[in-house]
Amino acid sequence: MGTALKLKATDNHELAAYKAEPDGIARGGIVIIQEIFGVNDDIRETVDNFAKQGYVAIAPALFDRHERDAVLKFNEDGMAKGRSLKGALNWEDVIKDVDAAIIEIGDAGKVGVVGFCMGGSVAWFAAARSAVSAAVCYYGGDILSNSNETPKCPVMFHWGAEDAGIPLDGVNKVEADHPYIPSFVYEGAGHGFSCSRRGSYHKEAAGQAMERTLEFLSTNIG
């Protein structure tokens, strides 16, 4: 459904992206932010699904600054490589790449960001630093240590109660720091619960979270 393209950030870095457009007039735009596994089949499918909901959707390849076309498997080796690539990222550069994606779909109207895992943290930074109208953050672990960011748009959080990498006391602190942000903790769900290709997939939590996400985006994007 979608197409591959190239984006250029303000520092002239060129990165790959995957973009899909809806049938008919767009309701707005959505930037989908990857997990540590790259712009893989799951992320491309997510882009396609948001296009089916009426949005122009795009996923920038955030690892391209360090390794182009990095698509990793959902196993221990893939996770280790993904963590290494994530560790090499500079958040300021990442936001430049997200901003390039925002500009690419800006003609669609209001633009939101939806991020998963690493992308959940990036969506949090984008809410504070980028020109977006809404941000949805799925289990972004770095949000806990960056709770002092001040979002400039409506935000929604999704967390897994059984996420071994994101302690609930940290989630509770984020919620206390930002009591106006709708924040949902899903019982029985762990990290990556929204990804149907991962062993941690939790169908009920994923469905409920996406229903809430779409309603939130409808309210704030269109």
pLDDT at 1 over 80: no
Q: Report the chain's mean pLDDT, rounded to a whole number.
A: 97
Q: What is the mean pLDDT of residues 161-180?
A: 97
**Pairing assessment for the beta strands 55-60 and 134-138 based on DSSP bridges:** unpaired
Where exactly are the structural domains of the chain?
3-220
Listed as own residue / partner, the contacts of 174-178 with beta carbons closer than 8 Å and 24 or more positions apart are 174/143, 174/144, 174/147, 177/147, 177/148, 178/147, 178/151
Give the model confidence (pLDDT) of 15-57 as tens digits. 999 999 999 999 999 999 999 999 999 999 999 999 999 999 9
Which pLDDT value is given to residue 129?
Answer: 98
Per-residue model confidence as pLDDT tens digits over 135-151? 999 999 999 999 999 99
Reported pTM? 0.97
Which superfamily does CATH assign the domain made up of 3-220 to?
Answer: Alpha/Beta hydrolase fold, catalytic domain (3.40.50.1820)
